[in-house]
Each structure stands twice: as C-alpha cells, then as structure tokens.
Amino acid sequence: MNAALFPDLVVNGETVPHTVIAAETQNHPGPKGKPGIAWRKAANAVAVRTLLLQEARRRGLSPDPAEIGPGRFETDEEALIRGLLETAVTSEAPIESDIRTEWERDPQRFRSPPLWEVSHVLVACDPRDDRATATARERAADLARRAQDNPRGFAKLAQEHSDCGSKSSGGALGQLGPGDTVPEFEAALRSLAEGEITPEPVLTRHGWHVIRVDAVAQGAVLPFEAVRGKISDAMEKAAWARSARHYINQLVASAEISGADLRSV
C-alpha cells in the first residue's frame, strides 16, 4: 500500500487499523481513479470517532445503546459517543425575541400544508420487471403526448385508458395533501402549476402516471404563535450542533494526530 496515499492513522498514540478506514471509505465517495481522496475523508471521520471514543472512555462512560428503529439499536461505540456529547455539550434555549426575529425574517416559510385537486391516468406495471416497465412507459408516453395535445380531453383519456379505479370518474383522485400519496407522485405535484399536465410520465411503485393538477390551494402563512415551538426547536438544535463542533475542535486541538487533516472539523 502506498504510504503517501494511505498513511497510518495514529490518534494519541493509538494506531487505527487500515481495515477500519477502508470500511469507512464507502461513506465518502471520491473522484474515479483517485482513491486517496476518499481515503483521506474516511481517515478524518475515523480520527474524530476515535478521539471521541478515547474521551468517553477516559471519562469512564459506559455504553447504553438506544433503540433507533424497530428492533434496531445503536452499537456500543455509537452509544458511547452519544453519551459523551450529551454529557459534554450544552446549549441554551433561544430567547423569545430571537425566535420572533427568525420568524419575521421570512414568514412566508411557515405555511399550512397545500392541497391539490388531482386527476391522473395510470399505466400499471411492476417496476421490478424492466421489460414490462419499458413497455408500459411507451404506452404512458403516448398518453402524455395526447393529453398535452388535447388537455380538455383528459377525462375521456382516463376513462378509456387508465388502469386505476378512478377511471370511472375521469381519473379524478380528489384532494391530496402532503403525505397522501407516494413520494414520486407528490414531487410531481409540487412541480406543477394549476392546470398543468406532466409532460413525461412519472414512475411510482404502481406504474406510470400522467398527472394533471386541476386546482391548487397554497397553504396560508401561519401566525407566529402556531410555529413558535417549531422555530425554537430548530434554533436550539442548530445551537447544539455549533457547540458540538466547537467541542470536537477543542479535542482535536489538544490531541496528537497523524495520518489525518483535522485543522477544521
């Protein structure tokens, strides 16, 4: 192994095995043909992790893995690092005037959810079947062109060609809000103005869709009292993240590290 590209990582006298860094590189892609870049990014991440684990053990902390999903728990190392940061990093809750100033900076950011009145034509297929998906797309693309050429005929097109039960109502799906449909379908809704039809079919797990937004009701701007808690939580999390970066930089400044570049974490 080229020592210049892949130097040994030593953190406070502890040499980290190359296998640990190699495993971490999968989380840090680099330009093709330049493995040294991904290695350096991985070495930096591993160096910080090693430093935090050393500090957690120096403080005598014991891991208490938390559940992070149904039946899924943190590793002991993840639990140690979380425990250390919870112990060592603090941040103050934002004051009322700062929360209001953040809201006043752009109240348009805080709206109630939009509602879309939607119709569609579905060409059903199983996306896991490449051949069937390609065939269905050809059919859906033809229907999309016909819908663009004759928007007023959309309901008739759905009645004659859609594979969805909504065909009986001209493809009408009624009102949809955020989270009411699959992500790909919702993303298309967010990109369309009232009266617009998707120029290209949209693929979801149900098949290909030609989508028309019949009407849009943009959410109203919410008053400060309705979003105060959300803004406060976001500001507190941001402040905690800044404090955590500062704490890690302090550990780096007092550590002896070779094989990584941690001048700024």
d(CA 78, CA 144): 49
Q: What is the mean pLDDT of residues 56-83?
A: 95
In a domain, 223, yes or no: no
Q: Is the pLDDT of residue 127 over 80?
A: yes
Residue identified by tokens 């290695």 is 39
- HSE of 201, CA atoms in CB hemisphere, 13 A: 26
In a domain, 20, yes or no: yes
Are 129 and 74 members of one domain?
Answer: no
User: Residue 18's closest CA among 6, 26, 2, 34?
Assistant: 6
Q: What is the mean pLDDT of residues 229-242?
A: 96
For residue 106, report the phi and psi dihedrals to the nearest 5 degrees: -165, 85
Q: How confident is the model at residue 35 (pLDDT cuts 50, 70, 90)?
A: low
User: Residue 5's closest CA among 32, 41, 29?
Assistant: 41
Are 30 and 86 members of one domain?
Answer: yes
Are 34 and 78 members of one domain?
Answer: yes
Residue 203 contacts residue 128 (beta carbons within 8 Å):
no
d(CA 203, CA 139): 13
Are 121 and 57 members of one domain?
Answer: no
Q: What is the model's pLDDT at position 5? A: 62
Q: Which domain holds residue 132?
A: 115-217
Q: What is the model's pLDDT at position 163? A: 97
- pTM, two decimals, is 0.67
Question: Hey, is 13 helix, strand or coil?
Answer: coil
d(CA 171, CA 133): 21
For residue 221, report the phi and psi dihedrals to the nearest 5 degrees: -65, 130
Are 148 and 192 members of one domain?
Answer: yes
Are 120 and 194 members of one domain?
Answer: yes
Q: What is the mean pLDDT of residues 28-39?
A: 78
d(CA 185, CA 138): 19
Q: What is the mean pLDDT of residues 166-193?
A: 96
Are 159 and 241 members of one domain?
Answer: no
CATH, residue 196: 3.10.50.40
Are 201 and 244 members of one domain?
Answer: no
pLDDT in tens, 13-24: 999 999 999 999
In a domain, 143, yes or no: yes
**What token pair was written down for 143?**
């229907």
Q: Is the pLDDT of residue 4 over 60?
A: no
- The number of angstroms, rounded, from the C-alpha of 235 to the middle of its chain's C-alpha atoms is 19
- Give the burial class of 132: count Cβ atoms within 10 A of its Cβ; 0-12 exposed, 13-18 middle, 19 or more buried: middle
Q: Residue 107 has what DSSP assignment?
A: G
How many domains are there within the chain?
Answer: 2
* pLDDT, averaged across the chain: 93
Residue 139 contacts residue 178 (beta carbons within 8 Å):
no
In a domain, 104, yes or no: no
Q: Identify any residues that bridge with 14 across adjacent strands, giving them in sequence order.
A: 11
Are 246 and 202 members of one domain?
Answer: no
pLDDT in tens, 79-91: 999 999 999 999 8
In a domain, 40, yes or no: yes
Q: How confident is the model at residue 218 (pLDDT cuts 50, 70, 90)?
A: confident
Q: Is the pLDDT of residue 198 over 80?
A: yes
Are 123 and 191 members of one domain?
Answer: yes
In a domain, 132, yes or no: yes
User: Residue 263's closest CA among 12, 3, 48?
Assistant: 48
Are 119 and 213 members of one domain?
Answer: yes
Are 144 and 207 members of one domain?
Answer: yes
2-6, 129-133, 141-145, 237-241: lowest mean pLDDT where? 2-6
In a domain, 26, yes or no: yes
In a domain, 2, yes or no: no
